[in-house]
Chain A
């Protein structure tokens, strides 16, 4: 019985989820721990019903730009598959991808107005702290203050974190810790900002969906990468909106994934 549970289809080597295997192959992941972490992440997300709600999942495994660029949901080397294009001074490591506060960003090619349903979620797992920068954005697409999708963990000029979905929420930073799993979601017309599955604030959703592409490591400000961050990114997801239960399950799966890779916070 234990063997059957451990080896999904019985026989010799454990079966790997085909979507996980496609990513492992595309990204040339050879480390068994990393392979196992990807497989578990995919099976967890499928088990929770979150997999089908996501358009892009960037797990940042492999330690190089050539492995980090792939979208777990569709690991083809094309813009249409939302494969990342890295520009500027990124640092790639087994712990994720880190910008430089100067000019580093990654283009997801994902346009919210085209590729997402009306209500959606954006998440980002940051495993270093905010250190400097007036208003660095970790992920975002911006047309206007009521037409944006973005996450910023800290701004020194107003001491607040900020999310857009599609209107803006500001939250005074009383937590003193900008690392962790940040989630920007909509439930029942309420825009919610969570960190480590703790609701920090919510507000009635207003505004409209942005038409700019989503950038990682910076804000796509009407077509120009701006407001660059240097917080290291260990994972990011973009997709349809989640239920409250799914919010918690996504955090559980992502935290387990990063714990397996010894890069959790």
Chain B
């Protein structure tokens, strides 16, 4: 099971539009329970000192939202 870092709504807002490494932007997404999360790659490769706290985010199992496609699409 893939694990991801759990964000609060305020933390999500702080990361949107921010770089975590050169030419690499954070991309917070919502899981099946509408939790805001980021990947471990973003957490552990972060070079942005303004959001250094991302490395300490609690990890949760990633449960993606269901596929938006029916099987015929």
Contact = CB atoms under 8 A, between A and B. Distances in A.
A89 B25 contact: no
Interface string A97-138: 000111111000000000000000000000000000011000
A145 B41 contact: no
Contacts of A158: 71
A88 interface: yes
Interface stretch (A3-11, A45-53, A61-69): A61-69
A147 to B, nearest CB: 11
Given A66-B23, A86-B23, A168 B73 contact: yes
Interface residues of A, number: 27
A157 interface: yes
A167 to B, nearest CB: 11
Interface string B2-41: 1010000000000000000111111111000000011111
A102 B23 contact: no
Interface string A63-91: 01110010000000000000001111111
Contacts of A66: 22-23
A105 B27 contact: yes
B24 A102 contact: no
Contact of A85 (B25, B64, B67): B25
A65 B71 CA distance: 34
A86 B41 contact: no
B29 to A, nearest CB: 5
A226 interface: yes
Interface residues of B, number: 26
Contacts of B41: 88-91, 100, 104
Contacts of B40: 89
Nearest to B31: A102
Given A100-B2, A102-B62, A88 B42 contact: yes
A105 B25 CA distance: 10
Contact of B29 (A103, A135, A157): A103
A169 interface: no
B55 to A, nearest CB: 14
B25 A86 contact: yes
A60 to B, nearest CB: 13
A85 B37 CA distance: 20
Contacts of A221: 68
9 contacts: A64-B22, A88-B27, A102-B2, A102-B39, A104-B39, A135-B67, A145-B72, A145-B73, A227-B69
Given A65-B22, A87-B27, A103-B28, 15 more contacts: A65-B23, A65-B24, A66-B22, A69-B23, A86-B23, A87-B24, A88-B42, A89-B42, A89-B45, A90-B24, A101-B2, A103-B27, A103-B37, A103-B39, A227-B68
